[in-house]
Every structure is written in structure tokens, then in C-alpha cells.
Amino acid sequence: MSELSQPSKASLTNLIPIAMGIAAFFAVVGLSILNPRNVSWLLADFDMTLEYLGWAFYRYGPWTFPIGLNPNFGLDISSSIIYSNSMPLFAMVFKPFSALLGEPFQFWGIWILLCFVLQAWMAWLLMGLITKELWIKILATGLLLFSPPMFSQIGFHNSTIGHFPILAAIYLILRPTQNKRVLWWSILLPCTLMIHPYTFAMLAALWLADLLDKLIIQKKLSILQVLLEMVCAFSTTIFIAWQAGYFMNVSPGETGFGTYRMNLLALFDPSGFDAANWSFLYNLPWVRANNNYEGFVYLGLGLIAVLLISLPMMAKHREKFAQLLRGHVFIFLCLICLMLFSLSNNIGIGPWTFTVPLTPKLLSIASILRASARIFWPVFYVVAFAGIYFLIKGYSKKIATAVLGIALAIQIIDTSGAWLEIKNKISHPGAQPASSLSDPFWTDAAKYYKKVVRVPVWNEQAIWEKFANYAAQNQLGTNSVFMGRVDQQKIERSNQKLKEMLAQGKFELDTLYIVEDNYVPQFIKAMNPQADLLARFNEINVFAPGWKTCQGCLKINEAAQINPSIQNERLTRLGERIDLSRFGKYAKVYLGGGWSVPENWGVWSLDKNASITLPLPAQIPKKLIIDAQAFIGGSQNAQDVEIWINGAPQAKATLVKRFGNEIEVPLPASVLNPEKLKVDFVFPTAISPKALGIGIDERPLAIGLEAVTYE
């Protein structure tokens, strides 16, 4: 009976990390994203939009060889599923069942839940190498589960939430037996490559260092065993890389290394992305000001406490510490190299930066992994593991349990402000990129055309996601894409093809063309006015070949069509809502100084003065309507705004509502000129959230500009 009860008890014990992972997921993320029909949270943020849309095109695209190619996502400039960060590991598994999945379908909620469960499971296995005490294992597992760097990727870069492969690699390195190591590494490496290339790069470095340790230092492997493992792991990894589409001809990166770096004090800096702070007790603004959002690797107060308390034990058991280092010399050197790479050549120490010059060639090579700060993640987990190890080994069971329990409570509570903000963000997403394609033309056009082509084409065109989402919803191909890496020669060839098409007046009849303003005159010259439609809907110029001869197509009134006599600078119409959010075509073009980065809803002013410059519409306007939010909170109950037109004071307003403000600005002929409309804003009552005691943001805010309309 005892022989039967022992395995049963062990099986129940192994359910603990699974339950911990599920409980942490519900607390930190919530249930809403598990709904496969819920894609609104993915379409509300740039990087998640890219990840989702890459999959949305891939699922309906043709089968190719290699199977990771994604021809409808980019058309002439397309590459593979990996370069949209759409995680081939899941995309390739779900694609065969696409017809059964319904529309829309997203697997990212399932993936994030799996990340939590496997993070807890691998932490549990790691803690099992140190102790058999149940409560110590539970508490220590909880500390590695509540990892701020892992949580910070939620709702940002969903594919890099998977930190569990790093813990798995550390476990394979430290486990006493080498049983089935060829099998486990030959599975772990290619699977990680199918998750994200950055995570794979970290694991590949650890694996090679471990092979050298096992061969040269520990002498647990022979040269033949090492060669066998390398052949097996390399062959499976290269095959998977080939099928995932890694070997497409794309730009390696060119630039970026040194920008997305880590600060030397980052382990202790709770400053997160979007001004979120991961500690209620303190912040380091002088570090944050000289850091990058990719460089967030904050330990959390709980792990910092464990590390500080374990330091005396590291000193006391320094011989044990030295023994660990001597047994893992190459792993230690690997971790040093990973840390140095994460710091980049722009070495940040608190508020100071020291630059080591690199040749353009070296910079280009290093920029293959331009977000170098991520490469520190294995060092993060080794530091955390070392702190827990010496705490458990150096103190009594009671002290270790008490310290770990208090530390876990501190870790969860003190970081909760930040992860609850993430939870709220993905549970209540903002505006969608397709929301402004409201004209009935778009619905009708999707039935008539098979492709949506931007003219000209380049990687990450303005509002690319608006048309990519439109194309994905209607199962059309499009070149309106953004990819992490792209073949520049393909872009050049595609634009040359478009130029030749315009010169010859030979358009693809199954293609709807989205035309930039400066290309409108060329389409006017090349089109057949009796058959082709050149019109403007929702700020967008469209060229629809053959539309006027289509019997069942929507009839377009003259007011929507572009007058051939109008200059391309005067395409804006009276009554047309000029969207200044990140989904607005002209946000970055029209915004002058004094504004922040456009967000989903609009853009914040961040100074006492700001300006926008607008082209005049074809007809003479009588007034300008400005839709705006007002920064009101704490003791600030109103915002004063002064508006100047082309250098002349024209209007004043006091905004007393947070949302739904409309400012009407008269436009008499005396302030207009035939060129542009320069609108200057003065904000005498602008104030920072920090000054009001309602946040840490030090920028002086006044209004949030949403849109402007000529009337």
C-alpha cells in the first residue's frame, strides 16, 4: 500500500506548480484574453497588432514550402511568419485547422497562460535541485514566477513573455544527471527558435558554454558525445529554421544596437515602460531618464531582499561559491558576455553614459540583436537563483521559510500596481485601427478586389495596420505591412514595378490602390476616367480600376471623387475629420513641436506651447473645430487654451471637462494664406501629474488633441 501511495502523493505534489501558474495568470492577466474571439486587446497596441496580423494572414494564406512563408502579408515584399513575430510554434500548429477555428481567432491568450504554467513548472524543477522542503519550494517558485521582466512583456511583446525556456536551460545545465541531454537540448533549442529568435540566441549561448564545461571542466562528456549532440541539435534546429522561413533574404538590422540597451543599475530600477513604476516604495528617475524600455530587468523588492540577506551566506560559504564557479567556468564566462552585450557599446551607469565607438560593420552585425537589453534575462534568473540558493543553504529551515514567505508577499504586493495596470490595459483596450474606415465603399470594395496595394511601398508605412487589418478581415493580400526585417531590394523592385505600371497605364484589375497624396497627379494622368475611380474616403485616396464599369458596385457621388484640377496639397475636404491619433494618416506629418508620441486616441501636449501645420482644403473654410481632452485631476479643475492662426491670436477657451471638449476657431479671410494653416497653442495652466501628486510623470500636460475638422 505504501508503494502505491508514494507515487500518488508525488503526482499531487507536481500539480502545485501548475496550480500556481494558473492562479498567477488569473491574478495578473485575467480571463478575457482566453476568449479566442477577443482580438481587440491585440489590435490596440503596435507590436501586438503586428503579431496578430501576421498570423491572421498566414492562417488563410496558401501552403508553401518552406511552410513558414507568408505571401499575402506583404505581397511583393513578403517574407515569412517569423519576421512578423507571430510565433511559428503556434501558428504552424493552428494553420491546418483554420477552417474550423472561426473568425476571428487568436491563440495568444492560450500562449500566455502556458507561459505562466511552464514558468512555475520550470522554477519548481529548479528549486527541486536545492531542497525537498515543500513550503520552501512553493515560496521560492513563487518568487521566480512573479518576474517583473516577464510580466513587463505582457500586452507589449507577447512572444517574448516565454521566459520558461531560460529556466529550462538553467535546469538542464545544473541537474546532476546527463541522462537524455541530447534529446532535451534537441527539443528545447528548435522549439525556442520557433518562439522568438532573441530567446533562442540566449539559449544557444548557454548550451554551447555548457557543452564546453561538460567536456573540459567537468569531464562528464567525451568528444564523441559532444559531437553527436552538436550534430543532432544543429541539424534539427537548422531544419526548423529553414521551414519557419528564417533564411529569407532580409536586412540583418543595420542599426539600433546601443539604443535598446540595459543600464548597469537596471536590476534595482523599478521604472517601467509608459511611466509605470514597479514599486510603491521608491523610484529612480535619474536612472530611468537614461534607460530604455527594453532595458527593464528589475528584480522586485522581494528578490532584492532575498539577495541582500543571502550575501553574508555567499561570503561565509565562499568556497562553495568558488566550487560552483570552477565547475561552470564557461557558463560563467558566457553570462559575463551576455551582460556585456546587453549593456551595448553605450554603457549606462545610472544617469551617465560612456560610449565605446564601433565600426559601421560591427554595429551592423551587433544590430542583428539590436534590442540587446533582452540578452540579460539569463543573467537575471541566475542572480535570482543564486540568491535563493544561498538563502536556503545558509540559513535554517525556519528562517529560510520565513524570509521567502515575506519576500514573496513583498514581491507580489509591491509590483501589483504595475501588473494591475497591464491587466486593465488588456482587459479594456483602446481604439482599433480599422475604426475610421467607415465609408460604405470599403465594404463593397472588399467584395470586388483581391489585393490592397499601397503606393508607394515601404516597410512600416503610415497607418499600415489600418489597411492590414482591413485586408485580413476580408482575406485580401496587402503590401501594407510592417516586419522586423525586410528585403530592401524587394521594396525597390516593387516600387519600380509600380512606376512602370503608372507610366504604361496598365493596372491590375483585381487590386485596390491606396495612393499617397504626392502620387495622386500621376494616377490622374494614367487613369481612364470613364472606367476607373479616383476618390477620397475617410482621409484616404483610393484608385479603383474598373469600378465605374462594375454593374453591381456601389455608385460613388461626384463629391467623393477627386477633381483632376485640384492640387495634391489641397485634397482635404470640408467636414473631413483629420485624425491625429496613431491611426491617423497625417498625425506625424501635421504635428509640430510640443507634442508627445501619438497614442491610440490622440496625442498629449507636453509643453507650454505646441503647434500643428495643416494644408488648406479645396474649398475656403470658415472655421476649424478642434476635438480635445483636457488634463484635469487633483487640484487642477480646468485648462486654459489660447489659439493663434498664422501668427494672429484667434480664440481662447477654458476646458472644464476631461473628455468631449470641442473648440471652435473662426477662420476669417484675413488670417488665411494660400499655402498652409499654422495653428499655435499656448497652455498657461499646463501642469505635470507629479506636481499634482497623481503620478510620476514630470511632463507639463494641458490637452490631448484628438482630431481637427474644417467647416
Q: What is the 3-state secondary structure (H, E, C) of 115-176?
A: HHHHHHHHHHHHHHCCCCCHHHHHHHHHHHHCCHHHHCCCCCCHHHHCCHHHHHHHHHHHCC
**What number is the average pLDDT over the span 125-135?**
95
Class in CATH terms, 577-710: mainly beta
Q: Please check the confidence at residue 155 and state whether its pLDDT lies above 60.
A: yes
User: b/e string for 630-655 if b means 16 or more Cβ within 10 A?
Assistant: bbbeeebeebebebbbbeeebbebeb
Which grid cell sits at 104? 476571428
Summarised one tens digit per residue, pLDDT across range 533-586 is 999 998 899 999 999 999 889 999 888 899 887 766 778 889 988 999 888 888
| Rounded Cα–Cα distance for residues 266 and 245 (Å) | 34
> What are the cell numbers at 127?
528549486
Is the Cα torsion angle 65, 68, 69, 73 positive or negative in sign?
positive
Identify the band that residue 203 occupies on the pLDDT scale cut at 50, 70 and 90.
Answer: very high
Amino acid identity of 255? T
Helix pair 301-316, 318-327: axis angle to 10 deg: 100
95 SS3 class = helix
* Per-range mean pLDDT, top range of 385-394, 458-467, 611-620, 685-694: 385-394
pLDDT number for residue 289: 62
Give yes or no for residue 1 having a pLDDT over 50: no
Q: Kindly tell me the burial class for residue 143, based on how many C-beta atoms sit within 10 Å of its own C-beta (0-12, 13-18, 19 or more).
A: buried
Find the range with the poorest average confidence among 156-165, 226-235, 454-463. Answer: 454-463
Note the pLDDT of residue 460: 78
Residue 561 DSSP SS3: strand
Which cell numbers in the block locate residue 585? Answer: 494618416
What is the rounded CA–CA span in Å between residue 594 and residue 584?
18
Query: pLDDT by residue (tens digit) across 388-420?
Result: 999 999 999 999 999 999 999 999 999 999 999
Q: Is the per-residue pLDDT at 169 higher than 80?
A: yes
Determine the number of helices (DSSP H) and then strands (DSSP E) in the chain. Answer: 24, 16
Which H/E stretch holds residue 8?
helix 2-28
- Domains of the chain, residue spans: 16-29+111-427, 440-569, 577-710
- Residue 488: phi and psi, rounded to 5, are -65, -30
DSSP label at 284?
Answer: -
pLDDT, position 462: 83
Average pLDDT over residues 148-167: 95
Kindly list the distances between the CA atom of residue 504 and the CA atoms of 191, 321, 455, 528, in Å, as whole numbers in the listed order. Answer: 49, 74, 16, 12
Judged against a pLDDT cut of 90, whether residue 699 lies above it is answered with no
Residue 628 three-state SS: strand
DSSP β-bridge partners for residue 664: 625
CA dihedral (166, 127, 418, 193) in degrees, to 10, reads 10
Q: What is the reported pLDDT for 633?
A: 84
In tens, the pLDDT along 258-279 reads 889 999 999 999 987 655 689 9
Q: What is the pLDDT, as a whole number, of residue 4?
A: 37
Least confident stretch, 9-18, 30-39, 133-142: 9-18
Mean pLDDT for 12-33 is: 94
**Segment 695-709 mean pLDDT:** 87
Band (24; pLDDT cuts 50, 70, 90): very high
Burial of 607 (0-12, 13-18, 19+ CB in 10 A): middle
* pLDDT (0 to 100) of residue 10: 62
Is pLDDT above 60 for 3? no
pLDDT value at residue 274:
59
pTM (two decimals): 0.89
Show the DSSP H helices in 213-288 as ranges: 223-244, 285-288
Between helix 134-145 and helix 397-427 the angle, nearest 10°, is: 30
Residue pLDDT, tens place only, 318-362:
888 888 899 999 999 999 999 999 999 999 988 888 999 999 889
- At 697, the pLDDT band (50, 70, 90 cuts) reads confident
Could you tell me if 343 and 294 are in contact, meaning their C-beta atoms sit under 8 angstroms apart?
no
Backbone angles phi, psi at 417, to 5 degrees: -60, -40
CA separation for the pair 255, 489 (Å, rounded): 18
Q: Give 637-693 pLDDT, tens digit per residue.
A: 999 999 999 989 999 999 999 999 999 999 998 888 777 899 999 999 999 888 888
Predicted confidence (pLDDT) per residue in 478-517, tens digit: 999 988 788 888 999 999 999 999 999 999 999 999 999 8
Q: Using alpha carbons, list the distances in angstroms from residue 251 to 51, 144, 342, 367.
A: 19, 36, 21, 10
Q: What is the pLDDT of residue 355?
A: 92
| pLDDT, tens digit (0-9, with 9 covering 90-100), for 27-75 | 999 999 999 999 999 988 778 889 999 999 999 999 999 999 999 999 9
> Cα–Cα distance between 420 and 439 in angstroms, integer?
37
Kindly give the pairing relationship between strand 451-455 and strand 477-478.
parallel
- Closest alpha carbon to 51 in 361, 481, 432: 481
Q: What is the mean pLDDT of residues 157-181?
A: 95
Return left, alpha or beta for 344; rule: phi > 0 is left, psi -120 to 50 is alpha, else beta.
left
Whether the pLDDT of residue 251 is over 80: the answer is no
- Res. 8 pLDDT band, cuts 50 70 90: low
Average pLDDT over residues 142-149: 97
Residue 434 pLDDT: 47
Whether the per-residue pLDDT at 250 is higher than 80: the answer is no
- Give yes or no for a contact between 592 and 613, defined as CB atoms under 8 angstroms apart: yes
Dist. CA 85–CA 484, nearest whole Å: 8
Residues 524-536: tens digit of each pLDDT: 999 999 999 999 9
